[in-house]
Copies of this chain bind each other. A is one copy, B any other.
Amino acid sequence: MNVRHVPALLAYSPDKMRKVGLVDTPNLFCDAYCLEPGQEQTAHRHGVGDKLYYVVAGTGQIRVGNEEHAVAPGDLVCAPAGEEHGVRNPGPERLALLVVMAPKP
């Protein structure tokens, strides 16, 4: 049994958003997405696979379809399969999200 303490595993890169792999099974993956101010994951879509975002630290903007919303710690958002989605961190703090996707793309 593997207990991952997420706050201790967050890691940032100066060049682009960093993904930290936490759990990977045949059915799903769970990553931490770590964004310095100014970084983003540009909007994209998956034919299959619903994605959940849960904000662990910082503030940011999540886009699903044509809508973009401000998010803060404790916020949960679902990007259903087929919907365009992305996340960006306008700053001023670092942004960390728990991201789950199932099924895997």
Q: Footprint of B on A, CB under 8 Å?
A: 1-8, 22-23, 25, 27-28, 30, 48-50, 52, 54, 56, 62, 64-65, 67, 69, 71-72, 74-78, 80-81, 98, 100, 102-103
Contacts and interface: CB of A to CB of B under 8 A. Distances in A.
Nearest to A7: B74
A23 B78 contact: yes
B71 A3 contact: yes
A102 B28 contact: yes
A74 to B, nearest CB: 4
A4 B76 contact: yes
A103 B98 CA distance: 19
Nearest to A83: B1
